Structure 1
Amino acid sequence: MLPLPARFAGIILAFAPLFVHRSWRHAQLLLIGAILTPGRRTVASVLRITGRAQERRFVNVHRILNRTAWCPRSGSRILLGMLISAFASRGPVILALDDTIERRRGKRIAAKGIYRDPVRSSDSHFVKASGLRWMSLMLLAPVPWAGRIWALPFLTALVPSERACRERGRRHKPLLEVGRQLTLQARRWLRARDLVLVGDSGLSALLFLDAMRRGGITAITRLRLDAALYEPAPPRPPGTIGRPRTKGARLPSLSDVLADASTGWQATVVPGWYGAGEHTLEIASATAVWRHGGLPIVPIRWVLVRDPENRFAPQALLCTDLDREPVQIVSWFMRRWSVEVTFQEARAHLGVETQRQWSDKAIARTTPCLLALFSIVTLLASRLPTRERTRVTAATWYAKPKPTFVDALAAVRYALWREQASVLSCRQRHRPKRRFVLPRPWAYALCQAA
């Protein structure tokens, strides 16, 4: 087993209760190897980078993903607890819920489907992709040494395609139903904390918003400009016969409010506007009841946002907590931009979409583990000395004022390799000086083709 730096042991050993003793050795090998491995994140690559290319019982490492009994949900709870302690110990806990497509092909991947590729598509260009759909719940928290908000995944679930469920005789769970289950699971884990969920327009559904409101979770999403908004139902007079009213008079649509010259706009400076620093916006807000026939009735606070310089189109947001300040709603929604950054970093540097498992259980475990590895690396980097974790990969032609995830991953790898090198030096202390030979894991990382 690769030696661990003392400052990393507390974080990595926190996951030991998920496994029996023998399985934990292989699971720890997978975890450390996945951090050190460049390029494709396959079990074979992990064995090579950890110096076990000649391991005769290599199949035991594969079984951690496709056969061994351990609970990923319990691991998610452990990871969330460490993230909360490190980055969100005070104030409301801001969560983000979003889906992503893992491009995969193969007849033996049963849960795959054909979806719109959100990365390659645009408003005028539609691209379809064959792959797996994942719903991920992330913690949106400021990372002090990075100087910005990071989206830290801790709970990810597979959403099988409708065709795959039909072929297996199972009920298909829509995307929002899976998202509702993930969010309410986080609510059960954090009963004493104030939870705020941030999402895109895909979460702007009355059934989902009503479930969040009843679960004590504040939901913030986009809102259609033509949504049917009403005044609250008037008080019911005594002795009235019939069903009670559920809504009052119809309110003007938000598109009409946007075009109305009498609308009162408030100029507000919003910090961190999509990574561009402070930006001045005009905001208008009020409360209403959002209702549609046959669906739950949800009281909301709507917020209209427009740019005085007309650099982006006006948009509307909603919040299920009527007492939240409009500026606070906008600033929380702006944190959602880091979700797309996390998905991109996981693809580029953690090997998402490069794994090659065919077993259903291994497929359901590997991608959530790789996304959670983003959060684990961030936790490990936070244990490093300030000089090491704030070191940036800069050049004359590329100035970088603050460290990014690439720098955090490099710092953690450097600490792991340095620990192994120090152990090798101690073993050879009393031996005569020999000709330097590049260790096999280093040769694989440095010399093999990517």
Structure 2
Amino acid sequence: MDTTFCISAWNTLVQQLVLTFTEPTMRTWQQIALGWVLHRGPATVTGIFRTLGKLADRHWTVYHKFFYRAAWSLETLSAYLTANVIGPMILASGQIDPITGRPVADLNIDDTTAGRYGRHVAHAGWFKDASATGPATQGTVIHWAHNWIVGAITLRLPHWKQIRWVLPAVFTLYRKKADCDRAHPFATRQVLAARMVCQVATALPGMHLRVAADGQYATRDMVMGLPEGVSLVSRIRRDAALYDLPPKRRKPGQRGRPPTRGKRLPTPQQIAARRRKGWKTIAVRRQGKQVRRRVLGITCLWYHVCRTVPIRMVIVRDPAGRQEDDFFFCTDATVPDTQIVQRYYDRWGVEECILEAKQQMGFESTRGWCSRTVNRQAPLAMVLVTLVKAWYAKCAIEEPSLLPEPTPWNPHKIQPSFLDMLAALRRLLWQHRISSNSRLTARVREILETLSYVLSAAA
């Protein structure tokens, strides 16, 4: 294995973000990125510092000040991450919009909570987390936490056709009204999400941006806040008030302003129950499996949310009848029904990515409590998820030894998980750090290989 090539590739990715920082802070960032990836356990600054050992050549307080005092911006960091790391991967994916001829970037948005402890933790509050687990008698979990909105670019690469790469790019902390002031006025999740889309559109000029989000983002604030040329795919209410398109010509003798909408249509649920003709069968990928669905598409107006912008509403039905009907819509009425369904199903990757960041990178185990630290610390876990995936996508092609090896309990494993990617990077970094001496005996090398495996195994 060419360890030098892989280590150099990782250092290059980390250096893609150095323009965010001043020169002294740049050194601290490079060391924190290394220590964070190598550290196992809660993502505390003290734990990262101790993992670095002698590589931490600065006073321990410098690493704490990196989060609460150093002059750098999370928005700028996200911009460099999107443009310098994710942008080349979008071009490598080769997905081109047939109408505009521009590269396609799929941005999926979701929000999550990161549980915290302590009354004095800035911007924490009581939030509902539908994905959190708890006793069956409790129902929905409501806990003291931070509420983060995450935007991730999803794509497929030519050499990794079976993997849908999900790369976190932008992050925003949602604050409740009682936690806002003049310096930080209150904004809903939908307004914050629309701003995030604008950030990505600015960082990726010349690309065709497509957005997918769940039903809570299907609001007027979100739709009207999107940049020009950006389409949104989301859920539509089952009882949404739909209207036909307005007539192109006015009736003879008709006075007043031209009508903005046509006649009232049945609700999506009523259309699904009554319509017998117009259904077609499509094949899409859902959670890694190929499935068949019956779909019915209608071009109409959802005036309450999209005003006079025509939408494409798609009803999705399971032919086997095991699942309830789904109702999706797209703000671009020219998008094919199959693409609308696939774009929404691909949104599931954001849920998996958030879980990876919580379980493996310490997104939920940071210990900062002041405002600036809270706004910076947890998103860095997401940034490192993107860097690890970008590194693996590049190096595992050149070095097949980084691919997961078959095991007695899983002899046919060929698709790497994020744990495999993280463990491969950790193993290389530890081997480069503790076994670079070529004069070691075979027995010592065997011990060090076992030690590097224990250190690199993703917890």
Is the counterpart of residue 136 in structure 1 residue 150 in structure 2? yes
- Structure of greater relative contact order (alpha carbons < 8 Å, 6+ residues apart): 1
Q: 76, 85, 88: which is aligned to 2:88?
A: 85
The aligned residue for residue 63 of structure 1 is: 65
The aligned residue for residue 206 of structure 1 is: 220
Change in Cα spacing, 1:289 to 1:420, as seen in structure 2 (3 Å) is same
The aligned residue for residue 41 of structure 2 is: 39
Letter in 1 for 2:195: Q
Q: Check conservation: 2:403, 2:414, Cα contact below 8 A.
A: no
Q: 384, 388, 411: which is aligned to 1:373?
A: 384
Change in Cα spacing, 1:324 to 1:341, as seen in structure 2 (3 Å) is same
- 1:395 to partner: Cα distance: 4.0
- 1:20 to partner: Cα distance: 2.5
Q: Secondary structure at the match of 2:225?
A: helix
* Distance (Å, rounded) in 2 between the aligned partners of 1:54 and 1:320: 51
Q: Check conservation: 1:392, 1:407, Cα contact below 8 A.
A: no
The aligned residue for residue 103 of structure 1 is: 115
* Distance (Å, rounded) in 1 between the aligned partners of 2:243 and 2:261: 6
Q: Provide Cα deviations, 1:40-88, integer angstroms capped at 9, x if missing partner.
A: 1111111111114997711011111111101222221221122121244
Q: 22, 25, 29: which is aligned to 2:24?
A: 22
Change in Cα spacing, 1:21 to 1:211, as seen in structure 2 (3 Å) is closer
Change in Cα spacing, 1:290 to 1:173, as seen in structure 2 (3 Å) is same
- 1:273 to partner: Cα distance: 1.8
The aligned residue for residue 100 of structure 2 is: none
Q: Check conservation: 2:404, 2:413, Cα contact below 8 A.
A: no
- 1:418 to partner: Cα distance: 2.1
Provide TM-score, normalisation by structure 2. 0.86
* Distance (Å, rounded) in 2 between the aligned partners of 1:54 and 1:217: 44
* Distance (Å, rounded) in 2 between the aligned partners of 1:69 and 1:394: 47
- 1:170 to partner: Cα distance: 4.8
RMSD: 3.1
Is the counterpart of residue 245 in structure 1 residue 254 in structure 2? no
Is the counterpart of residue 267 in structure 1 residue 270 in structure 2? no
Q: Secondary structure at the match of 1:351?
A: coil
Change in Cα spacing, 1:224 to 1:349, as seen in structure 2 (3 Å) is same
* Distance (Å, rounded) in 2 between the aligned partners of 1:109 and 1:356: 9
Q: Check conservation: 1:304, 1:315, Cα contact below 8 A.
A: yes
Q: Check conservation: 1:307, 1:314, Cα contact below 8 A.
A: yes
Q: Check conservation: 2:191, 2:221, Cα contact below 8 A.
A: no
Q: Provide Cα deviations, 1:197-229, integer angstroms capped at 9, x if missing partner.
A: 0111011113322332x5220100011121111
Provide TM-score, normalisation by structure 1. 0.88
- 1:398 to partner: Cα distance: 7.6
Is the counterpart of residue 7 in structure 1 residue 9 in structure 2? yes
* Distance (Å, rounded) in 1 between the aligned partners of 2:411 and 2:238: 41
The aligned residue for residue 167 of structure 2 is: 152
* Distance (Å, rounded) in 2 between the aligned partners of 1:111 and 1:370: 19
* Distance (Å, rounded) in 1 between the aligned partners of 2:443 and 2:238: 74
Percent of aligned positions with the same letter in both sequences?
26
Change in Cα spacing, 1:72 to 1:292, as seen in structure 2 (3 Å) is closer
The aligned residue for residue 101 of structure 2 is: none
The aligned residue for residue 347 of structure 1 is: 358
User: More deviation in 382-391 or 364-373?
Assistant: 382-391
Change in Cα spacing, 1:59 to 1:239, as seen in structure 2 (3 Å) is farther
How many pairs does the alignment contain?
Answer: 435
- 1:420 to partner: Cα distance: 1.6
The aligned residue for residue 388 of structure 1 is: 401
Flag structure 1 segments of 5+ consecutive residues without an equivalent. none
* Distance (Å, rounded) in 2 between the aligned partners of 1:149 and 1:43: 32
Q: Check conservation: 1:300, 1:321, Cα contact below 8 A.
A: yes
* Distance (Å, rounded) in 2 between the aligned partners of 1:326 and 1:435: 60
Q: Check conservation: 2:191, 2:225, Cα contact below 8 A.
A: no
Superposed, 1:395-406 pairs within 5 Å as 395-396=408-409, 400-406=413-419
Change in Cα spacing, 1:326 to 1:434, as seen in structure 2 (3 Å) is closer
Q: 183, 186, 192: which is aligned to 2:206?
A: 192
* Distance (Å, rounded) in 2 between the aligned partners of 1:392 and 1:43: 33
User: More deviation in 216-225 or 6-15?
Assistant: 6-15
Q: Provide Cα deviations, 1:180-205, integer angstroms capped at 9, x if missing partner.
A: 10101111222311111011101111
Is the counterpart of residue 118 in structure 1 residue 101 in structure 2? no
Q: Check conservation: 1:352, 1:370, Cα contact below 8 A.
A: yes
Flag structure 2 segments of 5+ consecutive residues without an equivalent. 97-103
Letter in 2 for 1:158: L
Q: Secondary structure at the match of 2:78?
A: helix
